[in-house]
Every structure is written in structure tokens, then in C-alpha cells.
Amino acid sequence: MTDTTSGLTTSDGRPLKAALLAAQSKARRRAFLLVAPLLLFVILTFILPIAYMLQRSFENDGFSDSAPQLAAWFAEHPDGSEITEGAYAALVADLATMQANKTPGQAGTRINYTVPGTISLFKAAARKAEDLTPPYKEALIALDADWAAPKLWAAMRSASTSYSADFYRVAIDQKRGEAGDWARGAERERIYIYLFVKTFILSAIITLSCLLLAFPIAHLLATLPMAKSSLLMILVLLPFWTSLLVRTTSWIVLLQQQGVVNNILVALGLIGDDGRLVMINNQTGTIVAMTHVLLPFMVLPLYSVMKTIPPSYARAARSLGATSWTTFRRVYLPQTLPGIAAGSLLVFILAVGYYITPALVGGADGQLISNMISFHMNKSNWSLAAALAAILLVAILILYWLYDRLVGIDRLKFG
């Protein structure tokens, strides 16, 4: 095929092909500069925090920095090697250094994440490390027999490097056995998987509740005259103008046993004064409050889709003999599926990550995995919080992938 532009030139004598390439390159640079601020914002506020979270889920140098000599011994002796006098000598030297640097609590806390009860063990041994004499193995075991426990040495070996998968094991309810290997914890100790399952179940219930409530509201907004639908839309958007904390605490006033709802039920004679309903500090409170908070996020995608459905389709179906139910089921509902899919996905993902509302109205029974992540991040263990958050992120991405495979992400419609 002949290049017809090879012999053509611009008014200033440049080859036309080169001029076109230069113009296209300039347009691409201009477009990139226009989106660069948004790209930088996304990188700084989204990508980098997630990358840091993933790093923290593997990284914790609380023990490795405090016990360099023992870490060096572990590096020279592969896993499965016998714990010799040299290892105990390195440990005693590190304990003495910890006491001087006032870091035995830091090292003990890191081991305590996988072998509970070791903080006091390290603090007590560090105070007496300077007075210990060889053989160090017998000296340490004389202080506390736990220094000979295989699970303690397995935990110290794993923590002797800054990076470890220990926190992911803890996040799936595993703990170290007496022999030092990982095993599933006792039933009463399995809290994280239970919270993950409960979070997804409650989020699904909240999503379904929002859908059942939002569908008729969105249909009404889409079919009413513009003046009336605009007024109702203001009522839908009104919660966005009110603080989330205020809306949540309002539900506490409404749902508590001496609250508005129970008082109305007692006044109507539907329940006795001694039979007031418990609707707060449990899963019921979480579902009710979060359904109210997330309802607008379901109404808006549904409304944006329903507004574009021509009313003539339903009239044509009825003129052909279809009943109202058949018209709804076979004509109207299929056209609203993009809005249902968008609203459900949006509400479900928001519900999975909510923690303020469950913390205030859910109590111990109605809290979600996000509340546990917040607890560990603020008061306990950043690395475990990051591991739990990473697992939650992966679970949501898997659900997103399954949704795309089964339904098709291209069918989503937010407006």
C-alpha cells in the first residue's frame, strides 16, 4: 500500500507525516497534563495507602531489630536445626541489650502476637540477663521453663526477619501448637473468620433491605411530574446534609428500650411495658441503622435507570393482554437490572467497610470485621489490622470478579 502523504509538505516545508505525528504527540501530552493532577491525587490518596497497608501486613521489626544476635544465629542455622547453647547465648546477649535500650516489651509484644503470654517472659528475663552465667540454656530454663518451648523458638525464628506471613495466619484463626507448627485454634478462639462471615451476611441483608425499600421510591420518583419528583428527591438527599454521627445517634434514641419506637408500641398496646423490644446493641440495630444510612446509594442508581424507561413499553404490554404482574416481571424489571446491579454492588461494598454505625448501635453482637480492624489499628497491632484489611480487600475483589463473570460489569449503570 502506497503512503500518499510521503511527498506532501506543510506551508513551512516540513513533511506532512512528521507534522501530523508531532501534532498528535502534542495533543497526547496536553491530555496527560490535564489528567495529571487527578492521577497524582489517586496515587497519593488511594494507591500508596493500599500499598503501605499491604507492606505493613507482612512487616514488623519489633523483634528482629531488638534481637540481632539471635537473628544472625537463625540465619546461619536452617529451620529444623537443634536449638544449641549458642542460640541461648545469643538470646541472653540480646536480652541484656534490650534491658539497656528498654525494648524487652517491644520484642515480647511481637512474639506475643503468635504466642500469647510472652511479654512478661521477656521483661523478666531481660531484668536478670546481666546476672546470668553459662550454660545459658540451663540458666534461662531455670528462670522459666517456657524458654525451652518449641513454639516459642519457632515464633522467634519467624520474627527474626522483618517480613513474615504470621499475621495472615493469625487473621485466619491459626495459632502455634506446642511443637511450633501452625494449627487451627480452638473453637472459642476462632473470631476472625466468624466476623468475616457475619460481615458478608449482614451486608447482604442490608443490601436486600435497601433494594426492597428503594425500588418503589425510585419508581415513584421516575413516574411523578418533575415538580413533585424534585421535592421528593430533596427528601432522599436530605440525609447527606446531616452528619453521619447525628443520624446514627438518632437511631439510638429511637430504638433503645425506653426509646420512641418502644414507647409508641406500648402506648398502642401492641407490647407490654415489661416486654419492650431489644433493638439496640445487637444485629437488629446494625441492620436498621445501616439500611437508613445506605438507602440513598440504592435509590439514585435505580432512579437514573428507571427515568430512561419509556412508559409506552408497559402500555404496549398491557394492550397485548399482559397482566400488571406479567408486565412488571417481563418488561419493566429486566430494564431496571443495570440499576439494581449498580446499587447493590455500591451498597454492599460500602456496608462491608462501615465501622462507625456498627460500633455505636451494634454493640458486641452487631459489630463487623471493620470494627476489629479499627480496634487493632488504634490500640493493638497495625500489622494484624493490615492483614485483616488485605483479606477483606481480596474477598471483595473476588466477589467483584465473580459478579463480572456471572452478570457482566458492563451492565452496571450509575446514571
Q: To 10 degrees, the CA torsion angle through 126, 155, 392, 354?
A: -20
Cα–Cα distances (Å) from 333 to 167, 222, 233, 339, in that order, read: 46, 14, 22, 10
Residues 6 or more apart whose Cβ sits within 8 Å of residue 8? 15, 16, 17
Better-scored residue on pLDDT, 322 or 213: 213
Closest CA to 373 of 388, 363, 358: 388
Neighbours of 165 (CB within 10 A): 13
Better-scored residue on pLDDT, 42 or 16: 42
CB 62 within 8 A of CB 109: yes
- What is the C-alpha to C-alpha distance for residues 321 and 312, in angstroms, rounded to an integer? 14
pLDDT band, residue 415 (cuts 50/70/90): low
What is the arithmetic mean of pLDDT over 166-170? 93
- Look at the block and give the residue holding cell 537463625: 74
Q: Give the model's pLDDT for residue 411.
A: 62
Residues 6 or more apart whose Cβ sits within 8 Å of residue 410? none
Q: What is the pLDDT of residues 16-31, one digit of tens each?
A: 777 788 888 888 889 8
Q: Give the model's pLDDT for residue 1.
A: 45
Strand, helix or coil for residue 270: coil
pLDDT band, residue 175 (cuts 50/70/90): confident
Query: Domain 192-411 in CATH: superfamily?
Result: MetI-like (1.10.3720.10)
pLDDT exceeding 70 applies to what percent of the chain? 95
- What is the C-alpha to C-alpha distance for residues 65 and 53, in angstroms, rounded to an integer? 21
Q: Give the model's pLDDT for residue 353.
A: 87
Closest CA to 114 of 154, 67, 141: 154
Q: To 10 degrees, the CA torsion angle through 229, 230, 234, 240?
A: 100
- What is the C-alpha to C-alpha distance for residues 327 and 319, in angstroms, rounded to an integer? 10
pLDDT at 6 over 70: no
Q: What is the pLDDT of residues 243-298, one digit of tens each?
A: 888 888 889 888 888 888 889 989 888 888 888 888 888 898 999 999 999 999 99
When computed from its CA atoms, the radius of gyration of the chain, rounded to whole angstroms, is 31
> Angle formed by the axes of helices 85-101 and 136-143, to 10°?
60
* Burial (0-12, 13-18, 19+ Cβ within 10 Å), 193: middle
**Could you please report the per-residue DSSP string of 28-77?**
HHHHHHHHHHHHHHHIIIIIHHHHHHHHHHHB--TTTTT-HHHHHHHHHS
- Look at the block and give the residue holding cell 536480652: 95
pLDDT at 5 over 70: no
Closest CA to 381 of 91, 179, 116: 116
- What is the C-alpha to C-alpha distance for residues 147 and 157, in angstroms, rounded to an integer? 13
Q: What is the pLDDT of residues 344-368, one digit of tens each?
A: 988 999 999 888 888 888 887 888 8
Ranges of each domain in the chain = 14-42, 68-189, 192-411
Mean residue pLDDT of the chain comes to: 88
Q: Give the model's pLDDT for residue 338.
A: 86
Q: What is the pLDDT of residues 269-279, one digit of tens each?
A: 888 888 888 88
What is the arithmetic mean of pLDDT over 52-62? 91
* Consecutive H or E run containing 403: helix 382-406
Measured over the CA atoms of residue 88, residue 89, residue 92 and residue 98, the dihedral's sign is negative
